[in-house]
Structure formats: C-alpha cells, structure tokens
C-alpha cells in the first residue's frame, strides 16, 4: 500500500477485516508520509486532524494494523518499534548509528528469505531480518555526536 487516497485506505482496512475508522485511516496516512515512524511520530502526525487521539489508541491501531498484515513492525536495537507500509517483500533496513535515521534496503541476494543460513536447526526459514548500521549522508558529512 503506497497510496494516501481515502477510499483506497478504507478499502484496504475493510479487506483486512478491520473497520475503516477515522483514526485508522489517519494512522495509515501518517505512515504513508512518514515511513519508519514510531508511535510518537504517528501520534504527532494524527493529532492536528484528530486532537482527541491518545498514544494508547495509536499503539492499539498500530498493533491491529500489524496483526492484519497492513503494516510491518521493525525494532532496530536501541530504538523504539517503528512501523512501515512496505510489506510482503522481506526487505531489510539500514540505520544511522548517529541520528537513528532508517532506510530500506532491498533483498541482499536472491529471493526471500534473501539469506541461506549455514544451519536451520530443523526450522523452515520464511524470512530473514537484516539490519545494516552506518552513518546517513547528513551525519557522514558532519561531526559525529
């Protein structure tokens, strides 16, 4: 899902078995404009149009959207959970170790799960989650904090 058109967002919610509430639509719109947002960032984006929205409501909506498969939750080490609309392609992430900026990285090699472990210990591998760390262009150009 990459569009912010209201009918499409509402239809996506309904197709996932969720009611298309104003708050859910607003959260999806926030994630569309702010990939890799945390709950506080989503709340800040939703509050101007829905000022009565609470942080608990945002967490509940993000959980429901994640459970329904409309949103992906990522958890880079040392960072709050982040949420994105890019789902279903087993992409990876790169995180700036200075400022925390996050970017997407397509599959490292081949098809999902992108990596072949030396041993599966009997597991059937369905996804691989890789986090690359480094400095974003802005931080690489300036002094490291």
Q: Which of 3-7, 88-92, 135-139 has the lowest mean pLDDT?
A: 3-7
Which one of 21-35, 83-97, 123-137 scores highest in mean pLDDT?
21-35
145: confidence class by pLDDT, cuts 50, 70, 90: low
Percent of the chain residues topping a pLDDT of 70: 88
One-letter-per-residue 3-state SS of 35-46: CCECHHHHHHHH
61 Rama sector, left if φ>0, alpha if ψ -120 to 50, beta otherwise? alpha
The CATH architecture to which 6-74 belongs is Orthogonal Bundle (1.10)
Q: Is the pLDDT of residue 4 over 50?
A: no
Share of the chain above pLDDT 90, in %: 65
- Sorted by where each begins, the domain ranges of the chain are 6-74, 89-141
pLDDT above 70 for 3: no
Identify the pLDDT of residue 124: 86
User: CA angle, 18 as apex, 16 and 23 as ends, to 5°?
Assistant: 125
Each residue's pLDDT tens digit, 110-138 = 555 566 777 888 988 877 778 899 999 99
CATH topology for 89-141?
A: Dna Ligase; domain 1 (3.30.1490)
Residue 100 pLDDT > 70: yes
Burial of 142 (0-12, 13-18, 19+ CB in 10 A): exposed
Residue 1 pLDDT more than 50? no
């Amino acid at each position: 899902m990459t569009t912010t058109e209201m009918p499409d967002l509402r239809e996506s919610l309904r197709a996932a078995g969720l009611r298309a509430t104003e708050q859910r639509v607003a959260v999806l719109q926030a994630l569309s404009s702010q990939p890799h947002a945390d709950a506080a960032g989503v709340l800040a984006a939703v509050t101007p149009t829905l000022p009565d929205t609470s942080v608990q409501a945002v967490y509940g909506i993000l959980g429901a959207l994640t459970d329904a498969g409309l949103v992906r939750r990522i958890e880079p080490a040392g960072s709050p959970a982040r949420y994105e609309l890019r789902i279903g392609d087993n992409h990876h992430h790169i995180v700036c170790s200075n400022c925390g900026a996050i970017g997407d990285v397509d599959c490292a090699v081949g098809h999902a799960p992108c990596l072949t472990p030396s041993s599966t210990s009997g597991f059937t591998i369905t996804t691989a989650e890789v986090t690359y760390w480094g400095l974003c262009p802005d931080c690489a150009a300036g002094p490291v904090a």
